[in-house]
Structure 1
């Protein structure tokens, strides 16, 4: 009988160890939940960026205004007949 009780105590101790410290423990589950929340926030930020990029691609594919704006701001291009003025700070 004492042997049976000893074996049962060992099994309970093993299960308690795994519950509190081992893989799949409560602390491990809490850590994984925090990691999931952080990853979901990152995914949402990236989804929003992808939406903005898709809207910009659509604008570049369909409208001349977006292409003209890009050419002016990124490449410094001007239209024919326009005069370009550069204002330089004294600094």
Structure 2
């Protein structure tokens, strides 16, 4: 009986140690895997940041151009304002005749 009892206790100890070892491995694997996932998330966010910064720079340049244009129109002459109205809004001045030619209908 004592041999069986010693065998069972040594077997139980071994099983418990093996289970503890497996649990530790699983927990460590989850921690290591989490680190990898965090690194991938950080890299993805850095790429999104670069894209957003480029977009912001483009918009800042556009805004600067528009501010310059607005300032020039505020300080500009009547002729400059009329030219802007003609080019961008299709307006026609007093006494002017507007002709619209359709290239598709030409012979």
TM-score by shorter chain over 0.5:
yes
TM-score by length of 1: 0.69
1:21-78 C-alpha deviation (Å, 9 max, x unpaired): 2xxx111111011000000010011001101110111011110143021133223324
TM-score of the superposed pair, with normalisation by structure 2: 0.61
Question: 2:82 pairs with 50, 61, 68, which one?
Answer: 68
Larger radius of gyration: 2
Higher helix fraction: Structure 1 or Structure 2?
2
User: Which of 39, 55, 78 is residue 42 of structure 1 equivalent to?
Assistant: 55
Partner Cα separation in structure 2 for residue 9 and residue 71 of structure 1: 74
Structure 2 unaligned spans of 5+: 1-16
- Count the aligned residue pairs: 86
* Mean CA deviation greater in 28-37 or 56-65: 56-65
Q: Which residue of 2 aligns with 1:12?
A: 28
Judge conservation of contact 2:86–2:92 (CA < 8 Å) in 1.
Answer: yes
